[in-house]
Amino acid sequence: MSLSVTHSLTLTGLTAAAVDVEVHLANGLPSFTLVGRPIRK
């Protein structure tokens, strides 16, 4: 089990918003789950 975090930016119109992306890797059947939650800093 491992967790990776990266920090990035996304554009909303002409404004850049900070985005944190977290990925969890585990053994087992292949699957993909996308969960999003906006965080304002």
Give the pLDDT band of residue 22 (cuts 50, 70, 90).
Answer: confident
Enumerate residues 6+ apart whose C-beta is below 8 A from 33: none
Query: Which pLDDT does position 18 carry in this prediction?
Result: 85
What is the distance between the alpha carbons of residues 4 and 38, in angstroms, rounded to a whole number? 18
Query: Which pLDDT does position 17 carry in this prediction?
Result: 85
pTM value > 0.75: no
Distances (CA, A) of 10 to 23, 25, 27: 18, 24, 31
Query: Which pLDDT does position 28 carry in this prediction?
Result: 80
Task: Examine the pLDDT at 14 and tell me if it is beyond 80.
Answer: yes
What is the distance between the alpha carbons of residues 15 and 12, in angstroms, rounded to a whole number? 5
Mean pLDDT, residues 18-34: 78
Q: In residues, how long is the chain? A: 41
